[in-house]
Amino acid sequence: MVNILEQLVELQKIDDKIKTIDNLLVSLPEEIKAHSMDMDKAKEEFATFQKEIEAKKKSRLQKEKEVEDKNAAVAKAKTKLHEIKTNQEYTAALKEIENLTAAVGLLEDEQLELMEEVDSSASKQEELKKKVTEEEKAFSKIKSENDARIAEVKSEKDALIASRNDIYARVDNSYAKKYDSLLKSRAGIAVSELKEDICTVCNTTVRPQMIVEINTGSAIHTCPSCSRFLYSPRLFQTAS
């Protein structure tokens, strides 16, 4: 009886370790993914900002062209002024020149504003670029560290599974099956230590007769409340 319980406790220790590794096999790739997303976000922000700058540069050039066209139109209108015969036409031509000149002024203001925006964006652009470099570094660091750790825990898990199979094969079949079903139905914990008169997992008080039998190893009992195998660690010390 003592031997069976000892094996079950050993199985539980191994299963605890496997559970920890399984959690790592979820969290380590998640951490890599999170860094990858941070990196992508930084790259996207940088690219978006660059696109905005390019659009401003393009718009500035367009306005430059418009200014040229309008200035040409003003020059042309001016040369034609002396050909005009009536006062009415002359006034209209002057009005047109005035309108064109006003439009040129407005375009030049807009052009200047765009130029200033492009110039002042240099530091923000640099900052965003730096952020990309930082995120790339952080990603590459975490990727190589976590990949190495993943490989390490995978081989640890293989070794644990091997020793689990080894022990499992030696456990009396009915107890092994019960252990497995408890492991599934009881959140991965199939055995519980009895401390004084209490099941340490669910805190239920166990009746005295059962305590005696558990402490002497004369019978295998399960907790009356959580159904887990109960064991007394003192028993293993005296038995071994």
List interacting residues with Zn ion (CB under 5 A).
199, 201-202, 204, 223, 225-226
Q: For residues 72 and 227, what is the distance between their CA atoms, to the nearest angstrom?
A: 95
Judged by beta carbon, residue 153 or residue 223, the one nearer Zn ion is: 223
- Cβ neighbours of residue 85 under 8 Å, at least 6 residues apart? none
Q: Write down the least CB distance from residue 221 to Zn ion, Å.
A: 11
Judged by beta carbon, residue 101 or residue 222, the one nearer Zn ion is: 222
Q: Write down the least CB distance from residue 200 to Zn ion, Å.
A: 8
- Are residues 206 and 224 in contact, defined by beta-carbon separation less than 8 angstroms? yes
Judged by beta carbon, residue 67 or residue 190, the one nearer Zn ion is: 190
Q: Write down the least CB distance from residue 202 to Zn ion, Å.
A: 3
Residue 207: φ, ψ to 5°: -75, 150
Judged by beta carbon, residue 11 or residue 182, the one nearer Zn ion is: 182
Q: For residues 15 and 12, what is the distance between their CA atoms, to the nearest angstrom?
A: 5
Cα-based distances in Å from 197 to 8, 205, 233: 20, 6, 13
